[in-house]
Amino acid sequence: MTPDDRLEHARQLPSPNCSERPPGERVSLLVIHNISLPPGEYGGGHVDELFCNTLDPGAHPYFAGIAHLRVSAHLLIDRQGRLTQYVPFNRKAWHAGQSCHGGRENCNDFSIGIELEGTDHEPFTPAQYDTLVDVTHTLIQRFPELSPETIVGHSDIAPGRKTDPGPHFDWAHYLARVRRRES
């Protein structure tokens, strides 16, 4: 990890959709998401465009309803396990929206958001799990308040509003691998 909280091995694509964390706020939550644009289609760079405010609303009918959004995540892990970083970890990415965890509102203030390229309707790839485990290990080393117990899905912090990472995300497999790396 670089001194400015970026992963050296990730493609860097800075998003304007971020801000400073509140003074004294520490990273204490890791949120796992899924995304594909258009829904169910992979590649094409549309996630990059959404997070960088360059998504063409006329490029696909679905985009007309989301091109105005100002959202981001810290990282995207594509289907091949490749990383793109949009926001340094010491800054607040705009990934969680209206959210609550442990009685605390606005999870963006104290969380890191990782998007997995995928949907609620199909499994994630082995390469994505490999990369996610590696990144999680790096983040736990960098942010001492993170642990396997402080990792949640978007659906956990925005129930009824969000469903990701979805029923095909293998929490048991992922967390067992993270715990093995931490021991």
Give the pLDDT score at 181.
79
Give the pLDDT score at 11.
98
H helices of the chain, where? 46-51, 126-142, 154-157, 171-182
Enumerate the active-site residues: 115
Give the pLDDT score at 122.
96
List per-residue pLDDT tens for the chain, 183 residues long: 999 999 999 999 999 999 999 999 999 999 999 999 999 999 999 999 999 999 999 999 999 999 999 999 999 999 999 999 999 999 999 999 999 999 999 999 999 999 999 999 999 999 999 999 999 999 999 999 999 999 999 999 999 999 999 999 999 999 999 999 777
Give the pLDDT score at 182.
74
Give the pLDDT score at 55.
98
Q: Which CATH superfamily, name and number, covers 11-182?
A: Peptidoglycan recognition protein-like (3.40.80.10)
Kindly provide the residue ranges of all beta strands, DSSP E only, lying in the chain, ordered along the sequence. Answer: 11-12, 18-20, 29-35, 75-77, 83-85, 91-93, 100-101, 104-105, 111-117, 151-153
Angle at 80 between CA 112 and CA 51, to 5 degrees: 45
- Give the torsion through C-alpha atoms of 20, 72, 156, 9, to 10 deg: -90
Residue spans per domain, the chain: 11-182
Give the pLDDT score at 171.
98
In contact, 46 and 55? CB cutoff 8 Å:
yes
- Model-wide pTM > 0.85: yes
